[in-house]
Structure 1
Amino acid sequence: MAAADIVVLKVQPFGRRTPGTRRGRARGLPVVVSSALETSVGIAAGLTLAAALPDLPYACGWAPCSYSADVCSQSLLPVDGAMPVRRPEPDLLDAVQADVATTQRWRERLAAARDS
Protein backbone atom coordinates (compact mmCIF):
# COMPACT_ATOMS: atom_id res chain seq x y z
CA MET A 1 0.00 0.00 0.00
CA ALA A 2 1.46 3.36 -1.03
CA ALA A 3 1.48 6.30 1.33
CA ALA A 4 0.52 8.73 -1.43
CA ASP A 5 -1.16 8.65 -4.82
CA ILE A 6 -0.02 12.04 -6.07
CA VAL A 7 2.67 14.65 -5.38
CA VAL A 8 1.60 18.26 -4.87
CA LEU A 9 4.43 20.74 -5.49
CA LYS A 10 4.59 24.43 -4.64
CA VAL A 11 7.42 26.54 -6.04
CA GLN A 12 7.61 29.04 -3.20
CA PRO A 13 9.07 26.71 -0.53
CA PHE A 14 11.87 25.82 -2.96
CA GLY A 15 12.61 29.40 -3.97
CA ARG A 16 12.87 28.39 -7.63
CA ARG A 17 11.49 25.75 -9.95
CA THR A 18 14.50 23.42 -10.45
CA PRO A 19 14.36 21.57 -7.09
CA GLY A 20 10.62 21.16 -7.50
CA THR A 21 11.04 19.60 -10.92
CA ARG A 22 13.62 17.14 -9.58
CA ARG A 23 11.56 16.24 -6.54
CA GLY A 24 8.47 15.59 -8.59
CA ARG A 25 10.28 13.30 -10.99
CA ALA A 26 12.09 11.45 -8.18
CA ARG A 27 8.87 10.31 -6.54
CA GLY A 28 7.60 8.38 -9.56
CA LEU A 29 4.06 9.58 -8.86
CA PRO A 30 1.77 11.89 -10.82
CA VAL A 31 2.48 15.55 -10.03
CA VAL A 32 0.28 18.61 -9.74
CA VAL A 33 1.51 22.11 -9.04
CA SER A 34 -0.38 24.33 -6.65
CA SER A 35 -0.22 27.88 -5.38
CA ALA A 36 -1.15 29.59 -2.14
CA LEU A 37 -1.88 33.24 -1.44
CA GLU A 38 0.10 34.78 -4.26
CA THR A 39 0.10 37.57 -6.76
CA SER A 40 0.57 36.96 -10.46
CA VAL A 41 4.34 36.97 -9.89
CA GLY A 42 4.17 33.90 -7.63
CA ILE A 43 1.62 32.18 -9.84
CA ALA A 44 3.91 32.68 -12.86
CA ALA A 45 6.68 30.81 -11.02
CA GLY A 46 4.32 27.90 -10.42
CA LEU A 47 3.19 27.93 -14.04
CA THR A 48 6.82 27.73 -15.12
CA LEU A 49 7.30 24.64 -12.95
CA ALA A 50 4.13 23.04 -14.33
CA ALA A 51 5.24 23.76 -17.90
CA ALA A 52 8.63 22.11 -17.20
CA LEU A 53 7.08 18.81 -16.13
CA PRO A 54 6.83 16.15 -18.83
CA ASP A 55 3.30 15.14 -17.86
CA LEU A 56 0.43 16.78 -15.98
CA PRO A 57 -2.31 14.16 -15.77
CA TYR A 58 -4.43 16.23 -13.37
CA ALA A 59 -5.49 19.84 -13.02
CA CYS A 60 -3.15 22.10 -11.11
CA GLY A 61 -4.42 24.15 -8.17
CA TRP A 62 -4.09 27.86 -8.77
CA ALA A 63 -5.51 30.58 -6.55
CA PRO A 64 -5.07 33.59 -8.81
CA CYS A 65 -4.92 36.98 -7.16
CA SER A 66 -5.76 35.67 -3.72
CA TYR A 67 -4.65 38.97 -2.26
CA SER A 68 -7.04 41.91 -2.26
CA ALA A 69 -4.93 43.46 -5.01
CA ASP A 70 -2.39 42.17 -7.51
CA VAL A 71 0.96 43.81 -8.26
CA CYS A 72 0.29 43.39 -11.99
CA SER A 73 -2.32 45.39 -13.87
CA GLN A 74 -2.73 42.39 -16.20
CA SER A 75 -3.24 39.58 -13.69
CA LEU A 76 -2.68 35.95 -14.58
CA LEU A 77 -6.20 34.54 -14.64
CA PRO A 78 -7.58 31.26 -15.96
CA VAL A 79 -9.54 31.31 -19.21
CA ASP A 80 -11.53 28.21 -20.10
CA GLY A 81 -9.58 26.20 -17.54
CA ALA A 82 -6.12 27.21 -18.79
CA MET A 83 -3.56 29.84 -17.84
CA PRO A 84 -0.90 31.35 -20.08
CA VAL A 85 2.75 30.75 -19.24
CA ARG A 86 4.13 34.26 -19.49
CA ARG A 87 6.32 36.63 -17.55
CA PRO A 88 4.13 38.98 -15.51
CA GLU A 89 4.83 42.70 -15.45
CA PRO A 90 4.64 43.88 -11.81
CA ASP A 91 3.78 47.45 -12.76
CA LEU A 92 1.77 48.20 -9.60
CA LEU A 93 4.55 47.65 -7.04
CA ASP A 94 4.61 51.32 -6.03
CA ALA A 95 1.07 50.97 -4.69
CA VAL A 96 2.16 48.35 -2.15
CA GLN A 97 5.68 49.55 -1.38
CA ALA A 98 6.51 49.81 2.31
CA ASP A 99 7.52 53.15 3.77
CA VAL A 100 11.19 53.84 4.54
CA ALA A 101 10.91 53.05 8.28
CA THR A 102 9.22 49.70 7.67
CA THR A 103 11.75 48.77 5.01
CA GLN A 104 14.65 49.61 7.34
CA ARG A 105 13.13 47.65 10.23
CA TRP A 106 12.75 44.53 8.05
CA ARG A 107 16.28 44.87 6.65
CA GLU A 108 17.64 45.01 10.19
CA ARG A 109 15.53 42.04 11.26
CA LEU A 110 16.68 39.96 8.28
CA ALA A 111 20.31 40.90 8.88
CA ALA A 112 20.01 39.89 12.54
CA ALA A 113 18.50 36.54 11.56
CA ARG A 114 21.22 35.95 8.97
CA ASP A 115 23.98 36.78 11.44
CA SER A 116 22.62 34.72 14.35
Structure 2
Amino acid sequence: RTLAEFDLEYAEQPCASVQELANLKERIEDLGIPIAADESVRKAFDPLAVARAGAADILIIKAQPLGGISAARRIVAEAGLPVVVSSALDTSVGLSMGALLAASIPDVDYDCGLGTAALLAGDVSTHPLLPVDGAIPVRRVDASEELLARYAATPERTAWWLDRLERCRRLLD
Protein backbone atom coordinates (compact mmCIF):
# COMPACT_ATOMS: atom_id res chain seq x y z
CA ARG A 1 0.00 0.00 0.00
CA THR A 2 3.00 2.28 0.50
CA LEU A 3 3.60 2.28 -3.27
CA ALA A 4 0.25 3.98 -3.99
CA GLU A 5 1.72 7.43 -3.34
CA PHE A 6 4.27 7.08 -6.16
CA ASP A 7 1.90 7.14 -9.15
CA LEU A 8 3.42 4.00 -10.69
CA GLU A 9 2.61 3.11 -14.28
CA TYR A 10 2.63 -0.57 -13.26
CA ALA A 11 4.37 -3.06 -10.97
CA GLU A 12 6.35 -5.60 -12.98
CA GLN A 13 6.31 -9.22 -11.80
CA PRO A 14 6.04 -8.44 -8.07
CA CYS A 15 5.41 -12.14 -7.28
CA ALA A 16 6.81 -15.40 -8.59
CA SER A 17 3.73 -17.50 -9.34
CA VAL A 18 0.53 -16.91 -11.26
CA GLN A 19 -1.50 -17.61 -8.11
CA GLU A 20 0.52 -15.08 -6.11
CA LEU A 21 0.01 -12.49 -8.86
CA ALA A 22 -3.75 -13.15 -8.85
CA ASN A 23 -3.91 -12.82 -5.06
CA LEU A 24 -1.89 -9.59 -5.06
CA LYS A 25 -3.90 -8.13 -7.93
CA GLU A 26 -7.09 -8.72 -5.99
CA ARG A 27 -5.63 -7.25 -2.77
CA ILE A 28 -4.39 -4.01 -4.35
CA GLU A 29 -7.04 -3.45 -7.02
CA ASP A 30 -8.34 -0.39 -5.17
CA LEU A 31 -4.90 1.27 -5.35
CA GLY A 32 -4.97 1.63 -9.12
CA ILE A 33 -1.53 0.04 -9.63
CA PRO A 34 -1.69 -2.33 -12.61
CA ILE A 35 0.18 -5.63 -12.34
CA ALA A 36 2.45 -6.55 -15.27
CA ALA A 37 3.51 -10.17 -15.77
CA ASP A 38 6.95 -10.88 -17.24
CA GLU A 39 8.53 -14.11 -16.00
CA SER A 40 5.06 -15.64 -15.58
CA VAL A 41 4.70 -15.29 -19.35
CA ARG A 42 8.15 -15.86 -20.85
CA LYS A 43 9.30 -18.64 -18.51
CA ALA A 44 5.97 -20.45 -18.30
CA PHE A 45 5.10 -23.74 -19.91
CA ASP A 46 1.78 -22.01 -20.73
CA PRO A 47 2.42 -18.30 -21.36
CA LEU A 48 -1.34 -17.64 -21.46
CA ALA A 49 -2.02 -19.02 -17.96
CA VAL A 50 -1.54 -15.62 -16.34
CA ALA A 51 -4.10 -14.02 -18.68
CA ARG A 52 -6.62 -16.83 -18.23
CA ALA A 53 -6.30 -16.53 -14.45
CA GLY A 54 -6.89 -12.78 -14.59
CA ALA A 55 -3.63 -12.44 -12.65
CA ALA A 56 -2.23 -9.43 -14.53
CA ASP A 57 -3.37 -6.24 -16.20
CA ILE A 58 -0.42 -6.02 -18.61
CA LEU A 59 1.90 -8.54 -20.25
CA ILE A 60 5.62 -7.95 -20.72
CA ILE A 61 6.42 -9.65 -24.03
CA LYS A 62 9.88 -10.70 -25.22
CA ALA A 63 9.93 -12.27 -28.68
CA GLN A 64 12.92 -14.59 -28.37
CA PRO A 65 11.90 -16.66 -25.31
CA LEU A 66 8.34 -16.95 -26.64
CA GLY A 67 9.44 -18.56 -29.91
CA GLY A 68 9.80 -15.53 -32.18
CA ILE A 69 7.64 -12.75 -33.53
CA SER A 70 4.77 -14.87 -34.87
CA ALA A 71 4.44 -16.88 -31.65
CA ALA A 72 4.61 -13.71 -29.53
CA ARG A 73 1.92 -12.05 -31.66
CA ARG A 74 -0.36 -15.08 -31.19
CA ILE A 75 0.13 -14.90 -27.43
CA VAL A 76 -0.66 -11.18 -27.41
CA ALA A 77 -3.79 -11.70 -29.52
CA GLU A 78 -5.04 -14.60 -27.39
CA ALA A 79 -4.30 -12.88 -24.08
CA GLY A 80 -6.27 -9.77 -24.97
CA LEU A 81 -4.30 -7.62 -22.53
CA PRO A 82 -2.21 -4.49 -23.06
CA VAL A 83 1.46 -5.24 -23.64
CA VAL A 84 4.93 -3.84 -23.15
CA VAL A 85 7.39 -5.23 -25.68
CA SER A 86 10.74 -5.58 -24.00
CA SER A 87 14.11 -7.25 -24.38
CA ALA A 88 16.79 -8.77 -22.27
CA LEU A 89 20.20 -7.17 -22.54
CA ASP A 90 20.19 -7.61 -26.32
CA THR A 91 22.46 -6.49 -29.12
CA SER A 92 20.90 -4.67 -32.04
CA VAL A 93 20.22 -8.01 -33.74
CA GLY A 94 17.82 -9.02 -30.96
CA LEU A 95 16.43 -5.52 -30.59
CA SER A 96 15.46 -5.44 -34.26
CA MET A 97 13.20 -8.42 -33.56
CA GLY A 98 11.61 -6.60 -30.62
CA ALA A 99 11.12 -3.43 -32.66
CA LEU A 100 9.42 -5.37 -35.44
CA LEU A 101 7.19 -7.12 -32.90
CA ALA A 102 6.21 -3.82 -31.26
CA ALA A 103 5.47 -2.21 -34.63
CA SER A 104 3.26 -5.14 -35.63
CA ILE A 105 1.00 -4.99 -32.55
CA PRO A 106 -1.86 -2.51 -32.75
CA ASP A 107 -2.30 -0.20 -29.78
CA VAL A 108 0.90 -0.61 -27.78
CA ASP A 109 0.02 1.98 -25.14
CA TYR A 110 3.11 1.62 -22.97
CA ASP A 111 6.72 2.52 -23.66
CA CYS A 112 8.68 -0.50 -24.83
CA GLY A 113 11.91 -1.61 -23.18
CA LEU A 114 14.07 -1.86 -26.28
CA GLY A 115 16.96 0.51 -25.61
CA THR A 116 19.40 -2.01 -24.19
CA ALA A 117 22.05 -1.75 -26.92
CA ALA A 118 22.98 1.59 -25.38
CA LEU A 119 23.99 -0.30 -22.21
CA LEU A 120 26.53 -2.52 -23.97
CA ALA A 121 30.24 -1.79 -24.19
CA GLY A 122 29.98 -2.80 -27.85
CA ASP A 123 27.52 -4.19 -30.36
CA VAL A 124 27.80 -6.79 -33.11
CA SER A 125 26.39 -4.41 -35.71
CA THR A 126 28.22 -1.53 -37.34
CA HIS A 127 24.87 0.33 -37.31
CA PRO A 128 23.45 -0.35 -33.82
CA LEU A 129 19.85 0.33 -32.88
CA LEU A 130 20.29 3.12 -30.39
CA PRO A 131 17.37 5.16 -29.07
CA VAL A 132 16.94 8.67 -30.43
CA ASP A 133 14.30 10.78 -28.70
CA GLY A 134 12.95 7.64 -27.05
CA ALA A 135 12.55 5.59 -30.23
CA ILE A 136 14.47 3.05 -32.26
CA PRO A 137 13.82 2.38 -35.94
CA VAL A 138 12.24 -0.78 -37.27
CA ARG A 139 14.84 -2.16 -39.65
CA ARG A 140 16.92 -5.19 -40.45
CA VAL A 141 20.20 -5.36 -38.59
CA ASP A 142 23.13 -7.35 -39.91
CA ALA A 143 25.90 -8.59 -37.68
CA SER A 144 29.46 -7.70 -38.61
CA GLU A 145 31.86 -10.65 -38.91
CA GLU A 146 34.62 -8.48 -37.44
CA LEU A 147 32.50 -7.43 -34.46
CA LEU A 148 31.25 -10.99 -33.90
CA ALA A 149 34.87 -12.10 -33.66
CA ARG A 150 35.79 -9.20 -31.37
CA TYR A 151 32.97 -9.92 -28.91
CA ALA A 152 32.99 -13.71 -29.17
CA ALA A 153 32.66 -15.66 -25.96
CA THR A 154 35.72 -17.35 -24.56
CA PRO A 155 36.17 -21.02 -25.48
CA GLU A 156 35.22 -21.95 -21.90
CA ARG A 157 31.98 -19.96 -22.05
CA THR A 158 31.17 -21.37 -25.49
CA ALA A 159 31.68 -24.91 -24.15
CA TRP A 160 29.41 -24.10 -21.20
CA TRP A 161 26.61 -22.91 -23.52
CA LEU A 162 26.97 -25.88 -25.85
CA ASP A 163 26.76 -28.23 -22.86
CA ARG A 164 23.67 -26.42 -21.60
CA LEU A 165 22.02 -26.66 -25.02
CA GLU A 166 22.80 -30.36 -25.21
CA ARG A 167 21.25 -30.95 -21.78
CA CYS A 168 18.13 -29.05 -22.89
CA ARG A 169 17.95 -31.07 -26.10
CA ARG A 170 18.07 -34.30 -24.09
CA LEU A 171 15.17 -33.08 -21.96
CA LEU A 172 13.12 -32.61 -25.11
CA ASP A 173 13.84 -36.11 -26.45
Shorter-chain TM-score above 0.5: yes
- Higher relative contact order, chain-length normalized (CA < 8 Å, sep 6+): 1
Instruction: Name which of 90, 115, 130 aligns with 1:38.
Output: 90
Q: Which residue of 2 aligns with 1:78?
A: 131
Which letter does structure 1 place at the counterpart of 2:116?
P
Matches within 5 A, 1:1-116: 2-65=54-117, 66-91=119-144, 92-98=147-153, 103=158, 106-107=161-162, 110-111=165-166, 113-115=168-170
| SS of the residue 2:84 aligns to | strand
Structure 1: unaligned runs, 5 residues or longer: none
On the 8 A contact 1:7/1:29 being kept in 2, the answer is yes
TM (norm. structure 1) is: 0.81
In 1: Cα distance, 2:167 partner to 2:102 partner: 35
Number of aligned residue pairs = 116
Q: Which amino acid aligns with 1:90?
A: A
Map Cα deviations across residues 17-55 of structure 1 (whole Å, 9 max, x no partner).
111111111111111101111100111111111111122
Structure 2 length-normalised TM? 0.57
Question: For the aligned residues, what is the CA RMSD?
Answer: 2.4
Answer 1 or 2: which has greater helix percent. Answer: 2
